[in-house]
Amino acid sequence: MKLIVAIIQDDDAGNVIGHLNDDGFQVTRLSTKGGFLRSGNTTILTGVEEEKIENVLHILETNCKSRNQFTTLPAPYGSVHGFMPKPIEVRVGGATVFVIDVEQFHKF
């Protein structure tokens, strides 16, 4: 058994969870926040058998698309009088996925 941990954009979470549930996967959804953009993410946890890993990865890859977004970085070391940050374009989205071996699994 494997534990799949997927960090995705909040915008993609509904579709991903819907498709995973439709294919019979049970998921746990956690609200998380990224460190760089400080924007909301969703972290999905799902336990799967080895032969089902590719199914989950396909759903994630199909439904988690990268996109460009403009953001302003916070002032260094807090607020600086007169500092007006320039918006920068960054690539967000997609999925960061970890597949972890599960030594034991219990459901009570």
**Nearest to 56, CA basis, from 93, 9, 11, 5:** 5
Spell out the alpha helix ranges (H) of the chain: 10-22, 53-63
Is the distance from CB of 56 to CB of 91 less than 8 angstroms?
no
Summarised one tens digit per residue, pLDDT across range 25-70 is: 999 999 998 766 667 799 999 999 999 999 999 999 999 988 787 7
Is the distance from CB of 83 to CB of 65 less than 8 angstroms?
no
In words, the CATH class of domain 2-66+94-101 is alpha beta
Pull the structure tokens for residue 70: 């403009």
DSSP state of 52: G
Domain map (residue ranges) of the chain = 2-66+94-101
pTM score over 0.75: yes
